[in-house]
Every structure is written in structure tokens, then in C-alpha cells.
Amino acid sequence: MNREVPMAGDFLSVLAAQKLTPLRADRAMAAPVQTQATTVFAFHFSDGVLMAGDRRATAGNVIVTDRIDKIIEIDAVSLLAIAGVPATAFEMARVLQTSFEYYRRSQLQPLSLPAKVRALARLLRENLPMTMQGIGVVVPLFAGLDQTATTPQPRIYFYDPLGAQFQAVGYAASGSGATTIRSILSFQEQDGQPRPSQMSL
């Protein structure tokens, strides 16, 4: 049986000539619009850094609880905002709290901010097997005080799931609602504004 297959044109033309589709119909449906999402974010303002987030923990489209604390105090000058799998994120927070306190007591001085940032990056890299399986992904934010400068400066860092760290200039957001909050913050002027106006934002 002879079938005429076009020799010129793109691959989709060949598929069309054979009456084939590049995607299965049941997989080509658009994902449902997500009207609720969980988000953590941080930004600079005149008094330092403000870090906030919602209190919901979700499993797919189901709200498991709305009483979870996603902003965790690691030490007196460090905060961690968790986004991702709570069990893994809380364990990372406990490890950081213990490690920072042990260093402070054993060395009689606090750990430097760059060392704290790298410690969290290392935990994320160690979590790579769980991340690759899609069952332990954590994408946190970290805020701390850089005390090595002449005047202590607050810093914000964000990470990717594999442990790469980036310093945020003005703001950072993570979680399933991060795209929306970034759009909002990009049109706001945080630096130089007092705390009441930032709390209202």
C-alpha cells in the first residue's frame, strides 16, 4: 500500500498526513485554575526585613490545616520561611537551630551569615534524592543579619530545590502563590517606608 508522505514541511505536517495527533486528547486538557495558593515572602523596608506567609498546608487541592507556622525563628538574628513539604522543611529548621546553637556555645561566637546560608544550601543538596522523587521538595527563604559590616545589614536569600542560593535585592517569594506576590511587590516601593505601611501591605 502506497501512502504519500510529504517530504517538505514540518513534523506536524507529516503527522497530519498520517491522521495522527502529537498529543493525546485526554492529556491535552488545560490544568484547572488554582484560586487559592500558599505563599511565603520577604522584603526590605526602612527598619529591616519583613517576612510573612499564610498558615495553610495543602495536599493538592485539599486544605489539610490552616494553623501551620511557616515563619520559623532559627536564632536571634535569623528567620526561615518554609515552602514545600512540611515534614522535610521542619526537620531542616530543627537541624539549623541545633547546629547554630551548638556552634555559638562551643566557639563562644555566633556563626556568620554566609556560613548560615551555606548550611541551609547543604541541607537542600542532601535532600536531592527526595526532591528528584517529587516527595520531599523544599524551596525556602532565609533572612539574617550580616554583622560583619560596619553597620549590621539585613539580608534576604532564596533557594532553588537543589540548593543554589541567591541574594534578593528587594524582595523574594516562594510557594505556589509566589508568582502573584512577586507581581504585587514589583510595583511597590518597600525601602524607606515605615513599618505601619508595610504591615498594611
Among candidate residues 38, 39, 88, 131, the one labeled active-site is: 38
Asked if 116 contacts 142 with a C-beta cutoff of 8 angstroms, the reply is: yes
Residue 35 annotated in active site: no
Strands (E), 37-175: 39-45, 48-53, 57-59, 62-65, 71-75, 78-81, 141-146, 153-159, 165-168, 171-175
Residues acting as catalytic residues: 38
